[in-house]
Amino acid sequence: MKEAKNCKLISKKEIISGVFDYTVESADISNEAACGQFLHISCGGKSFLRRPISICDAGNGTVRFIFEVKGEGTLELSQKEVGDHIDILGPLGHGFDIKNYKNPLIIGGGIGVFPLFKLAKELNNNANVFLGFRNKDRVCMEEEFEQVSKLSIVGTDDGSYGYTGYIASAMEGFIKNSPCDVIFSCGPMPMLKAVKQIAENAGIECQLSLEQRMGCGIGACLVCVCESIFEGTNKYLRVCKNGPVFDSKVVKL
């Protein structure tokens, strides 16, 4: 069984309002981390349960994660200062399978873009990347993604920056005219549903990273289950253990 590590916070930035970019030291987590896996973080005294946050990047003995303040846990986490230690369990879960795809496409929405950064890096500038945000004020990581992508398109739901409208629509138009053999996605549920539908209609393989509320994070409590196409004991899959990344054809959204 994995043991939690006490990791020193070595860099902290608020990249947009309420969204914090943290880098911690941990050679063990850094060496093991695969793209799409997550950390289960003890946020502080008031939040009894750990909170799941995706690995954004890892390497050279450090691990980077980015989170939005939502409630008590992430608020406490955002109050850590450089030099503080954070209790982190990880890396956990089953990440993206990056095999030998020729024309990968990545699509992320909102806080779902963070786990896609390490993935884009590992695809060696070969992925076409689509990033969607609510409005201009919520756009983040645009330049970093540009540096590790073949093509990078940013859109906003309200049209205040980049492509106007849902980013899944931009992706749908793109794949009509450009080769694509796999779609990787993470983001809000309506976006994931749209991406699943578009990929399946086009006959393109698709891997989705799901975000569910979690308890234990290690497969023991069943708080995080999602419905699958299977019957019997596999009808409900554990997002923390079987996922968070699933083949889109396996999960019912």
Ligand X SMILES: Cc1cc2nc3c(=O)[nH]c(=O)nc-3n(C[C@H](O)[C@H](O)[C@H](O)COP(=O)(O)OP(=O)(O)OC[C@H]3O[C@@H](n4cnc5c(N)ncnc54)[C@H](O)[C@@H]3O)c2cc1C
Contact 93, 37 (CB under 8 A): yes
Interaction between residue 73 and ligand X (CB under 6 A): yes
Q: How many CA atoms lie within 13 A of 187 on its CB side?
A: 23
Residue type, 82: V
x-or-dash string of contact with ligand FES, 168-207, rule CB under 6 A: ----------------------------------------
**What whole-number distance in Å separates Cα of residue 42 and Cα of residue 205?**
35
Reduced to 3 states (helix: H, G, I; strand: E, B; else coil), residue 172 is helix
Selection from 75, 74, 78, 130 nearest residue 104 by Cα? 130
Interaction between residue 64 and ligand X (CB under 6 A): no
On the 0-12 / 13-18 / 19+ scale of CB atoms within 10 A, 100 is: exposed
Selection from 46, 42, 31 nearest residue 7 by Cα? 42
**Phi and psi at residue 238, to the nearest 5°:** -90, 120
User: Which 8-state DSSP code applies to residue 218?
Assistant: S
Q: Which residue from 127, 210, 240, 245 is in contact with ligand FES, where contact means CB under 6 A?
A: 240
Interaction between residue 27 and ligand FES (CB under 6 A): no
Q: Which residue from 34, 53, 120, 208 is in contact with ligand X, where contact means CB under 6 A?
A: 53
Q: Which residue from 52, 91, 108, 109 is in contact with ligand X, where contact means CB under 6 A?
A: 52
- Count of residues binding ligand X (CB under 6 A)? 23
Interaction between residue 145 and ligand X (CB under 6 A): no
CB of 147 to ligand FES, least distance (A): 34
On the 0-12 / 13-18 / 19+ scale of CB atoms within 10 A, 80 is: middle
Q: Which is nearer to ligand X, 52 or 104 (CB)?
A: 52
CB of 224 to ligand FES, least distance (A): 3
Sole window of 9-17, 100-108, 168-176, 211-219 interacting with ligand X (rule: CB under 6 A): 211-219
Interaction between residue 20 and ligand X (CB under 6 A): no
Interaction between residue 238 and ligand X (CB under 6 A): no
Q: Which is nearer to ligand FES, 93 or 155 (CB)?
A: 93
Contact 245, 135 (CB under 8 A): no
Residues that bind ligand X (CB under 6 A): 38, 47, 51-54, 65-68, 70-74, 111, 114-115, 211-214, 244
Residues that bind ligand FES (CB under 6 A): 214-217, 219-224, 238, 240
